[in-house]
Amino acid sequence: MTPRTEVSERPAELADAIAATAAPARGTSPDAAEAGARDDALTVLQALADPVRWTVLDALAEQPRCVCDIQERVPVAGNLLSYHLKVLRDCGLVTTSRRGRWVDYSLAPDARGRMVASLPGAGGTP
């Protein structure tokens, strides 16, 4: 049977396997750095690849908006919208600030840069 490699791995760990396979593991650091970049890219892309989150980011790219304002543009339940906003927060694509009872969401300063850098073939934006 000689199982080649354990195939029940999470994205992050799969990245290690890919890195180990892609290059003969010459030094030590550059591979790990590329694996980290790939992980970050996948996190960003998985955040973008959802209709609700895509529409939210598209609206925020125009201008910052409070949650209730966003909700007018995205026909989903409040708690569900909050769930998607949390995903965007967790990967650092948006920033929040309280204003009275409302919470304003804006695109993070480096959001566009990270999105472009997440595309395959970017090679670290050279």
Partner DNA sequence: TCGTTGATTCAGCCACGCTTGAAACGTACG
Partner DNA sequence: CGTACGTTTCAAGCGTGGCTGAATCAACGA
Q: Which stretches of the chain bind a copy of itself, using CB under 8 A?
A: 4-5, 7, 11, 14-15, 17-18, 21-22, 38, 41-42, 45-46, 48-52, 54-55, 57-58, 60-62, 72-77, 107, 112, 115-116, 119-121, 123
* CB closer to a copy of itself out of 24 and 100: 24
- Residue 71 CA to residue 94 CA, distance in Å, equals 16
How many degrees, rounded to 5, is the angle at CA 109 between CA 105 and CA 110? 125
Residues 22-41 that bind DNA (CB under 7 A): none
Q: Does 12 bind DNA (CB under 7 A)?
A: no
Query: How many Cβ atoms are within 10 Å of 115's Cβ, its own excluded?
Result: 18
* CB closer to a copy of itself out of 17 and 100: 17
Among 81, 88, 93, 115, binds DNA (CB under 7 A): 81
Q: Could you tell me the smallest distance in angstroms from the CB atom of residue 23 to a copy of itself?
A: 9
Q: Does 78 bind DNA (CB under 7 A)?
A: yes
Angle between the N-to-C axes of helices 78-90 and 51-62, in degrees from 0 to 180, rounded to the nearest 10: 70
β-sheet bridge partners, residue 106: 95
The strand ranges marked E within the chain are 65-66, 94-99, 102-107
- Exposed, middle or buried: residue 80 (CB in 10 Å: 0-12, 13-18, 19+)? exposed
- Binding positions for DNA, rule: CB under 7 A: 7-8, 10, 14, 46, 50-52, 66-68, 71, 76-87, 96, 98, 100-103
